[in-house]
Amino acid sequence: MAKYRKLGRTSDQRKALLRSQVTALILHGKIVTTEAKAKEVRKIAEGLIAMAVKEKDNFETVTVKAKVARKDKDGKRVKEVVDGKKVTVYDEVEKEIKKDLPSRLHVRRKMLSVLYPVKEVPAEAAGRKRNTKQVDLAAKLFDEIAPKYAERHGGYTRIVKIGPRKGDAAMEVLLELV
């Protein structure tokens, strides 16, 4: 008995396909794919969610002092002239940050080895490149998804059969987070 499905692809293509589908599942909450792919994606996604549930509260809150550039009403940095040069003015601010403990940091790095980096593009056409933001999927797993499944022991995803695909009659399914 094989441990995984080959999906008619070489190993690097298969790994890339599964990584992209797991990333899409975590980002959007559901994907439509074939039954065989969904069963493989489910294994990986459930493992990531289980790790996130186990380590969701494993951090300490630390207060740090940070220099932040002072900004005017338009959101631009305030500059002063010092010795004939324009210099940005900074204010010192105290911030509270979450500091991962070693086991949570290890889990975060394992997640990031599976998940692809994702950029969120705004819907407006103006300034598409300038307004893009990096989405932290590991933080989404820890902060949004893990608390939802804290009382649940496995079974974080659901596969719903949609029907055969028109082109090749492959069984299509909806893979979604429960």
The per-residue pLDDT for 122 is: 75
Model confidence at 36, pLDDT cuts 50, 70, 90, reads very high
Residues 136 and 71 placed together within one structural domain of the fold: no
d(CA 35, CA 171): 6
- Same domain, yes or no: 107 and 140: yes
Domain final position from 67, 100, 133 = 100
**CA–CA distance, 65 with 104 (Å, rounded to integer):** 24
pLDDT digits (tens, 9 = 90+) for 123-164: 776 566 777 889 999 999 999 999 999 999 999 999 999 999
Does 92 reside within a domain?
A: yes
pLDDT digits (tens, 9 = 90+) for 55-87: 999 999 999 999 999 988 888 888 988 888 999
Give the chain's domain count: 2
Q: Indicate the pTM of the whole model.
A: 0.84
The answer to whether residues 71 and 94 belong to one domain is yes
The answer to whether residues 153 and 110 belong to one domain is: yes
**Residue range of the domain that includes 54:** 11-58+101-177
For residue 165, being part of any structural domain is answered with: yes
Strand order across the beta sheet in which 157-164 lies: 30-34, 171-177, 157-164
Rounded to an integer, the average pLDDT of 83-104 is 92
Q: Are residues 94 and 129 in the same domain?
A: no
CA dist 145 and 29 (Å) reads 10
Greater model confidence, 1 or 137: 137
